[in-house]
Amino acid sequence: MEKCRLTIGLTGGIASGKSQVSQYFKELGIDVIDSDKIAHDLFKPHSPHLKDLENKFGDGIFLPNGELDRKTLGKIVFSNKTHLTWLNEFTHPLINQQMKAQLSKSQSDYVVLDIPLLIDINGEIPQRLRKLIDCVLVINVNRQTQIERILQRDNKNQTDALKIINSQSTSEQKCLLADDIIDNSGSLTELKDDVYKLHAKYLKLANCARNAP
């Protein structure tokens, strides 16, 4: 029998803990499709897409060895909404295509699509992504914790951290569209327990979908 195509859209603000949640799902044998990794791979050295970025932002976004300077590009787009919109409109269809390709190869009972920008700044899920997912799982954390984690993890100052947070949909917007919410303000043990509980739920949903007439 063909595997169920139940798909879970995993999202949350920057530094909310999505990567850790993804890791727990992987440990449970669930395929996780990481949109950030796809985006990174799309712009590896010698990628034909790098030329499009150079034409838009100039050669200052490249390191001396020719690799994309993601930090510099990030500063440019998070300081200019027009540039950020252009970059999103350019990269999102490419990422979407790769997610579909990986989804078609999945063999786990259900699939997690890790998409940080699943819910856009207008508080909506773009139609191209809505078509791919069945349930929305939001990892939620308060704003101050986000800032503290960004400062510690990414070695950014508070101004840069706020620019990134403010360029994304709010916690309230995300939670409004969530089918499930994990509050990641506690310990890793609590986070893991929450993931395991949802795993049991998603297995049941996947089973129901497989057995549906």
φ and ψ at 104, to 5 degrees? -65, -20
Reported as half-sphere exposure (CB side, CA atoms, 13 A), residue 144 has a value of 1
**Segment 60-114, tens digit of pLDDT:** 999 988 899 988 998 899 888 899 889 988 998 899 999 999 999 999 999 999 9
Superfamily of domain 7-211 in CATH is P-loop containing nucleotide triphosphate hydrolases (3.40.50.300)
**pLDDT for the residue numbered 211:** 67
Low-confidence residues of the chain: pLDDT under 50? 1-3
**pLDDT for the residue numbered 23:** 97
**pLDDT for the residue numbered 2:** 43
Q: How much is the pTM?
A: 0.83
Domain ranges of the chain: 7-211
β-pairing verdict for 111-114 and 180-183: unpaired
Instruction: Sort residue 29 into left (φ over 0), alpha (ψ -120 to 50) or beta.
Output: left
The residue with tokens 């269809």 is 93
